[in-house]
Structure 1
Amino acid sequence: MAGPPPKPWPTGEAQQLEPLVRRVLAPNPSPYTYTGTQSYVVGIGGGCAVVDPGPDDPEHLLALDAAIGDEHVCAIMCTHTHRDHSPAARPLAARTGAPIVGCAPLVLDDSGPRADASFDRTYEPDRVLADGEAMTGPGWTLRAVATPGHVSNHLCFALEESGALFTGDHVMGWSTSVVVPPDGDMADYMASLEKLYAREDRVYYPAHGEAIEKPRQMVRGMIGHRRQRENQILRHLQEGPLEAKDFVPRMYKGLDARLHGAAKMSVTAHLIDLERRGLVQRSGEVWQTKPSTQTP
């Protein structure tokens, strides 16, 4: 997990990434959001869409207003409903009259450690996009790519005119995603990575971190990383039963203590996946390999 780059960060600035895409960084940096959530304005001249409007922060909303300028906002599009991604949708819709389009609503109690990323209970979309459905505007098409795993309602959006993919939190430019059960699901997350690996997107624009210029290489590395973590878990369990928290100091050496809870939840997501596949079992909080999987 990389640390943030040196300040100053371009918070509040509209950065032109390509002819159809501008990026605006929200003022919400944290150990879980890196330098903050990145909102994207897609389209120029005639109408635009705002992807992941971010937190309901007055400073960020003013920055989005400046980035949008006099353009008509055709849609406000959310990849998922964590509180650092979707809460600005409602006030931005009130300002612009634009519909909220994208992921389905999801209201759950977040059992994980991410107070900044618990579920947004105010999110009310005007239109939910299923996998493969699109929102169009003047000179742009954003097609939904269902990518559950980080959360069950996660979507990516493919900008068909340029080959860019807005990846939300599914693929980030600075760290792997946290998968927090019960809504986060490791098997779904891995399947979604495989789905992206089969695509031919030119570049990824994540909600956190820099643009990813070699998408398939990045995804291949993420799949390998998760398989490595899975193998680590099984090796440690060969030595004896463990609780999920016991894996963290063994597997995440040097990790910022503030991130230990997130690491524990990702380990738990792996353990649940391994349990479903019949490789491990649990008794209360204690996990162990099944007798048939233990080495003699």
Structure 2
Amino acid sequence: GGFEVVTAANPSPYTLAGTNTYLIGRSGETVVIDPGPEDPSHVARVLDRSGASGRRVALILVSHGHSDHLGAADRLARETGAPVRRWGAGANPLRDEELLPTDDGGVRVLYTPGHAQDHAVFYWIGPAVLFSGDLLLGTGTVQVTPPGGSMRHYLRSLERVAALPLTLIAPGHGPVIRNPRMRIAEYLAHRRDRERQVLEALAAGPRSVEDLADAIYAGLDPRLRGAAEGTVLAHLEKLVAEGRVRRVGGNFAPA
């Protein structure tokens, strides 16, 4: 149940240390999960790592279509001849619950929209490892911002993976998560807290997204301000869909 990780040189407040590209075995071949950003030196490192064990890359899996995960897919496919598979795109899109043959029992595809509409995770059955893409990160929380992101779908996706037997989560960014059950519970609790903060702030009267972001994310790194406003909007859209909040012009108020 061993996997290897090659971290791309694309650090940022959003990508943490960089995108994690994972390599697992399939009868003497390599399956690559999340090829990473369009960076020839990263692709070369992935090929070196695979080649060092005498394995050719036979399949490329992508968790979602954001460029820090998908960018290298075409180049890696050209250099290896391996097919690229992802949700909702390409010649052979991934299917929910599909079992992909690999060593140690295969990898199950689970559709987990929320961070992105085309997001899937890969559950390695034998070792009970979840390759989580951007559903969960090694540190901090995930960006869920409309229009591509949906808080309602995101929470449902977290609940879906919470039901899996897990030993480890291998995230799209950041270190491996060794307490998966606790971490998923923390993620769910964090979103419930944010939702409560939004509702409490609205109790005082109609508020704009900007007002709410000021109230909830005081003292935030300005580089993350866009994400903060997007996250507030994602919570509001969920609450509107549930009939708990209504739009009043450009503002939001309790329903």
8 Å CA contact 1:74–1:137 kept in 2: the answer is no
- In the alignment, structure 1 residue 67 sits paired with structure 2 residue 49: yes
CA contact (8 A) 1:143 1:160 kept: yes
The corresponding residue for 1:151 is 116
Which SS does the other structure have where 2:174 is aligned? coil
- Which residues of 2 match residues 1-296 of structure 1 at below 5 A? 20-43=2-25, 46-69=28-51, 70-105=54-89, 125-139=90-104, 141-290=106-255
> In the aligned structure 2, how far is the partner of 1:141 from the partner of 1:155?
16
* 1:216 CA displacement: 1.1
| Residues 27 and 102 in structure 2, CA contact (< 8 A), matched pair in contact too | no
Q: Which amino acid aligns with 1:91?
A: R
Instruction: Give the secondary-structure state (helix, strand or coil) at the position aligned to 1:42.
Output: strand
Bigger proportion of residues as helix: 2
Distance in 2 of aligned mates of 1:138 and 1:220: 30
CA RMSD, 1 decimal? 1.4
Shift of 1:137: 3.5
Judged with a 3 Å threshold, the aligned counterparts in structure 2 of structure 1 residues 163 and 138 are, in CA distance, closer, same or farther, namely closer
**SS at the partner of 2:68?**
coil
TM-score by length of 1: 0.82
163-172 or 242-251, which moves further after superposition?
Answer: 242-251
Equivalent residue pairs, number: 253
Find the aligned partners of 2:230 and 2:61 in 1 and give their Cα distance. Answer: 28
Separation of aligned partners in 2, 1:128 and 1:142: 15
Q: Any gaps of 5 or more consecutive residues in structure 2?
A: none
Q: Following TM superposition, where does structure 1 have runs of at least 4 consecutive aligned residues deviating by more than 3 angstroms?
A: 137-140
Deviations 1:17-68 (A, max 9, x none): xx53000010101111111101001117611100000011011111111111
Letter in 2 for 1:262: A
Aligned-partner residue type, residue 54 of structure 1: G
Identity %: 38
List runs of 5+ in structure 1 lacking aligned partners.
1-18, 106-124, 291-296
